[in-house]
């Protein structure tokens, strides 16, 4: 029988971040992208259209984005909780890192001043 790796113990700060804060923030993103698309767009760029003028294609794209946020929530909140396999953690977190870099890259033209302003104005 091959030797098994011992379960790793994640430091509390990382546990709090990856198992609580990240899933909650992804769920909030899903909520706003699907149920409040105009607010979501306004928080993304100040030149967003009004709620009544959102094209159907934009509404569909935001609902699909909300679904991806929901997938992130499930992966972080459930998959990571269900395993102590370090390889699973590394693989899943690498995928989330790639997604986060892509997210930051997509808003690069807005500038750090706008993107860093995470509160609702």
Candidate ranges 1-5, 42-46, 73-77; pick with highest mean pLDDT: 73-77
Q: Is the pLDDT of residue 47 over 80?
A: no
CA nearest to 32, candidates 18, 17, 51: 51
120, exposed or middle or buried, with CB in 10 Å at 0-12, 13-18, 19+?
Answer: exposed
Whole-structure pTM over 0.85, yes or no? Answer: no
CA nearest to 55, candidates 32, 40, 38, 70: 38
* 3-class state of residue 38 by DSSP: helix
Across 60-78, b (16+ Cβ under 10 Å) vs e yields: eebeebbeebbebbebbbe
Residue with more model confidence, 114 or 18: 18
Q: What confidence score (pLDDT) does residue 68 get?
A: 93
Q: Is the pLDDT of residue 38 over 80?
A: yes
- pLDDT by residue (tens digit) across 58-103? 889 999 999 999 999 999 899 989 988 899 999 999 999 999 899 8
Confidence class of residue 49 from pLDDT cuts 50, 70 and 90? low
Q: What confidence score (pLDDT) does residue 121 get?
A: 53
Q: Is the pLDDT of residue 6 over 90?
A: no
CA-based R_g, the chain, Å: 17
Q: DSSP letter string over 58-75?
A: HHHHHHHHHHHHHHHHHI
Six token digits for residue 18 = 């990856």
Distance of alpha carbon 4 from alpha carbon 103, whole angstroms: 37
């Amino acid at each position: 029988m091959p030797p098994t790796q011992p379960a790793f113990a994640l430091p509390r700060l990382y546990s709090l971040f990856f198992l609580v804060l990240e899933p909650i923030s992804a769920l909030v993103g899903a909520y706003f992208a699907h149920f409040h698309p105009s607010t979501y767009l306004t928080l993304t760029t100040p030149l967003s259209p009004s709620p009544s003028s959102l094209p159907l294609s934009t509404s569909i794209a935001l609902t699909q984005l909300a679904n991806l946020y929901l997938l992130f929530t499930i992966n972080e909140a459930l998959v990571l909780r269900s395993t102590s396999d370090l390889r699973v953690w590394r693989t899943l977190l690498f995928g989330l890192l790639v997604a986060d870099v892509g997210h930051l890259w997509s808003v690069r033209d807005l500038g750090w001043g706008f993107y860093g302003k995470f509160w609702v104005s």
